[in-house]
Amino acid sequence: MPADAESVTLAAKALRAGEIVAFATETVYGLGADASNDKAVAQVFKVKGRPGDHPLIVHLLTVDEIDEWAVEISEEARDLAYAFWPGPLTIVFKRSAKASDSVTGGLETVALRVPSHPVARALLAEFGGAIAAPSANRFGRVSPTSAEAVCEDLGDDVEIVLDGGPSRVGLESTIIDCSGDEITVLRPGGVTLDRIDEVLGYAVSVGGETRAPGTLEAHYAPKARVEIVTARDAPQIARDHLENGRKVALLAPPPVPIGLPTSVGVLEPPETDEEYARVLYDRLRTADHHGIDVVLAVLPVGSGIGLAVVDRLTRAAASK
Ligand code: TXA
Ligand code: MG
């Protein structure tokens, strides 16, 4: 059922009571708790099965609230915030005293994001505080891009799921670290590097030391094994797997490669990089529903959000 005023009120009340709720954002669904309530935040870690030293993103309603949660905010960080918020960018700042160890995993920095999805915004407005929220999936698994996917993964562990329809971006936010001397992108995502470069006026560096689990080499994995292939090699690789008794599916931009064995399940192909990002997790979950053993994935070629798709598929492939 789509979230309405009544369910949003109920969810805000639950947050105030120290309970956790799942809610739609434009990137993926989040599993939220009152960011100022350590016990509530602990419950998020417990349900996710996430190690306590992996920090959460604090979601805010407005850009102005960053001054409550962060200190020593640079001009450039503020430019990025105003350029992309509300939206799929997470910025890492030096934390203020308000950001507790339970949220930051003991780091001296805090990750902040102002989401744009109307359901997330309605919840933040009604709750009146900050919401600490990771993606609403068990640790290491594929992030949910629909309310159904949240329920499937978390089951009875979360009572309230605010349904905002399928996620528009479909991949997690871009994380950019503005807490040190050099600005660094820690995770490619909903905001492309080109757009960040445009705001900064130079090419931002990518990578760097981090404790972000989304940056672990193996992450974002379905049950099926993910193998990255080229469209040209896909038919032969598929045949090898089939001969070994494995169920195989193909995830690739169109067209379907010539010579692909007919017993290979073809997951509905995404036409553009944006669509690839939007449907990626949904297709991986579909593969799991069909008991697929191996997903052969052909990477998108574009820069832009295609880079984030490449990042997630590479990590999924590294995990088996
Ligand atoms: O799009 C998103 O970012 C979604 C929606 C719900 O907002 N959230 C999300 O959360 O993907 P999660 O917890 O699955 O990933 C958050 C990432 C993790 O890789 C975490 O380690 C990193 O943000 N992170 C959080 N605080 C950090 C910090 N202080 N320094 C570096 N990385 C941090
Ligand atoms: Mg996650």
Tally of CB atoms within 10 A around 293: 15
- Our answer on whether the CB atom of 54 is closer than 6 Å to any ligand 1 atom is yes
User: Which residues are in the CB-under-5-Å shell of ion ligand 2?
Assistant: 135
* Confidence (pLDDT) at 220: 75
Mind listing the pLDDT tens digit for each residue in 61-103? Answer: 999 999 999 999 999 999 999 999 999 999 999 999 999 999 9
Confidence tier at 201 by pLDDT (50, 70, 90): very high
pLDDT digits (tens, 9 = 90+) for 235-281: 999 999 999 999 999 999 999 999 999 999 999 999 999 999 999 99
Which residue CA neighbors atom 31 of ligand 1 most closely? 212
For ligand 1, say whether the CB of 104 is within 6 Å of any of its atoms: yes
CB 11 within 8 A of CB 160: yes
CA distance 128 to 30: 17
Q: What is the mean pLDDT of the chain?
A: 95
Indicate the pLDDT class of residue 209, thresholds 50, 70 and 90.
very low
Residue 295 is predicted with a pLDDT of 98
Q: Is 222 in the pocket of ligand 1 (CB under 6 A)?
A: no
pLDDT exceeding 70 applies to what percent of the chain? 96
Beta strand 248-251 with 225-229 is unpaired
pLDDT range class, residue 213, cuts 50, 70, 90: low
Residue nearest to atom 15 of ligand 1 (CA): 134
In 131-204, where do the E strands start and end?
A: 131-133, 161-162, 174-177, 184-187
Q: At 148, list the tokens.
A: 């159904």
Which residues neighbour 164 within 8 Å (Cβ) at sequence distance 6 or greater? 2, 3, 23, 24, 25, 117, 118, 119, 120, 147
Q: From edge to edge, which strands make up the β-sheet containing 248-251?
A: 225-229, 294-298, 248-251, 265-266
